[in-house]
Structure 1
Amino acid sequence: MYRVIGTAKSRALRVLWMLEELGQPYEHIPANPRSDGVAQFNPAGKVPVLIDDGTPITDSTAILTYLADRHGDLTHPAGTLDRARQDSLTQFLLDEFDAALWLAARHSFILPEEMRLGAIKNTLRWEFETSQRTLIHRMSDGPFLMGDRMTVPDLILAHCLDWALTARFPVVEHKLTDYLDRIRQRPAYQRAMAL
């Protein structure tokens, strides 16, 4: 059985949600970043951490990719053009959505107060809105980013959109708000959010 370390209010939600989508059993240990329960598996103190057969795997995207490949679901096969498109979307979301939200969080409550730059958040919001306009041109007409099949970047995008709304980063594209509304109806998403 997998063990997932990290609170559901962190990127650990992505892993918990994926395990729910895959129907895989897991134990959830809702530890905070940099706590003793995390640091013993990840010296950086970051969550999530997935423990599989005694081996810790860190970084939510690495964990999602590992689980998708291992279970042959929520992904396209390695070495295919669809996988290249999937990986490209994943990288885009990490660079343009996740990075902006993480930098805003760092300058809101993570960094020591004397190191925070409050004005940077205005620039990050602008970049986030610009990235939304770019993304909608890359989205399929299907229910998911790549069409009729949910893949790894869907979990990242939905998590980032939820995070954005919590952080008061406007989701300005209707295609994205409609997308998030559909995703939030998924039973696996709802089970993970209930944690």
Structure 2
Amino acid sequence: MYKVIGATKSRALRVLWMLEELGQPYEHINAGARSPEALAYNPLGKIPALVDGDAVLTDSVAIMTYLADKHGRLTAPAGSVARAHQDALTFWLIDEFDAILWAAAKHSFALPEERRVPAVKDALKFEFERSAAILSDRLDGPFLMGDEITVPDILACHCLNWAIGARFPRTDDKLFHYGKALRDRPAFQAASAA
């Protein structure tokens, strides 16, 4: 059985959701960043961490990719052109969604108060809106890569949820409904309740 270390209201939700979609059992240790529990699995204290046997894996996207490859679901096959397109979208989401939201979070609460530059958040919201429009244009079906949910959908939806919580401007109707449909999935509901 897998063990997931990390608070539900963090990037650990991505891993929990992935495991629910895969139908894999797991133990969840609800721990915050830099907590004693997190430090026991990652010397940097970052969350999430995934324990699989003797292996401890870190970084939510690396963990999701590992799980998708290991179980042969929610991903295109490694070495395929479809996988290269999927990976390109995943990396784009990390750069253009996740990084923007994390920068806003740093200037809201993560950095020491004297290091925060609150004015930067307006520029980050502009960048996020521009990226959301690009993602919306790319969305041509129920999921980003076609007719089935994949790793980029979990990442994109988590970021869209994060943007809502951070009071970023609402995305267009297409992305709003896409995110709502993903949040309505039983696996998302189960992971959120973990």
Q: Tell whether the structures are fold-level matches, with TM greater than 0.5.
A: yes
5+ residue gaps in structure 1?
none
Equivalents in 2 of 1:190, 1:135: separation in Å? 24
Q: Quote the residue 1:61 is aligned against.
A: 61
Equivalents in 2 of 1:14, 1:54: separation in Å? 22
The alpha-carbon deviation at position 158 of structure 1 amounts to 0.5
SS of corresponding position for 1:17: helix
The alpha-carbon deviation at position 170 of structure 1 amounts to 1.5
Q: Quote the residue 1:183 is aligned against.
A: 182
Q: Kindly indicate whether residue 45 of structure 2 is the aligned counterpart of residue 45 of structure 1.
A: yes
Q: Quote the residue 2:129 is aligned against.
A: 129
SS of corresponding position for 1:40: helix
Equivalents in 2 of 1:167, 1:53: separation in Å? 36
SS of corresponding position for 1:137: helix
Q: Quote the residue 2:171 is aligned against.
A: 172
Where do residues 73-152 of structure 1 align in structure 2 (5 Å cutoff)?
73-140=73-140, 142-152=141-151
Equivalents in 2 of 1:43, 1:138: separation in Å? 38
Q: In the alignment, residue 52 of structure 1 is paired with which amino acid?
A: D
Q: Quote the residue 2:160 is aligned against.
A: 161
The alpha-carbon deviation at position 79 of structure 1 amounts to 1.1
Equivalents in 2 of 1:100, 1:173: separation in Å? 18
Equivalents in 2 of 1:137, 1:83: separation in Å? 20
Q: Cα deviation per residue 1:131-152 (whole Å; 9 max; x = unaligned)?
A: 0111122222x21111101100
Q: Which moved more, 1:17-26 or 1:128-137?
A: 128-137
Show structure 1 runs of 4+ deviating over 3 A.
Answer: none
Equivalents in 2 of 1:17, 1:102: separation in Å? 20
Q: Which moved more, 1:130-139 or 1:56-65?
A: 130-139
The alpha-carbon deviation at position 168 of structure 1 amounts to 0.3
Q: Quote the residue 1:17 is aligned against.
A: 17
* Identical residues among aligned pairs (%): 60
5+ residue gaps in structure 2?
none
How many residues align structurally?
A: 194
Equivalents in 2 of 1:173, 1:106: separation in Å? 26
TM-score by length of 1: 0.97
Equivalents in 1 of 2:24, 2:2: separation in Å? 8
Equivalents in 1 of 2:54, 2:79: separation in Å? 29
SS of corresponding position for 2:41: coil
SS of corresponding position for 1:86: helix
Equivalents in 2 of 1:175, 1:145: separation in Å? 12
Equivalents in 1 of 2:79, 2:54: separation in Å? 29
Equivalents in 2 of 1:32, 1:184: separation in Å? 23
TM-score by length of 2: 0.98
Equivalents in 2 of 1:47, 1:83: separation in Å? 26
Equivalents in 1 of 2:145, 2:130: separation in Å? 20
Report the RMSD for the aligned CA atoms in angstroms. 0.8
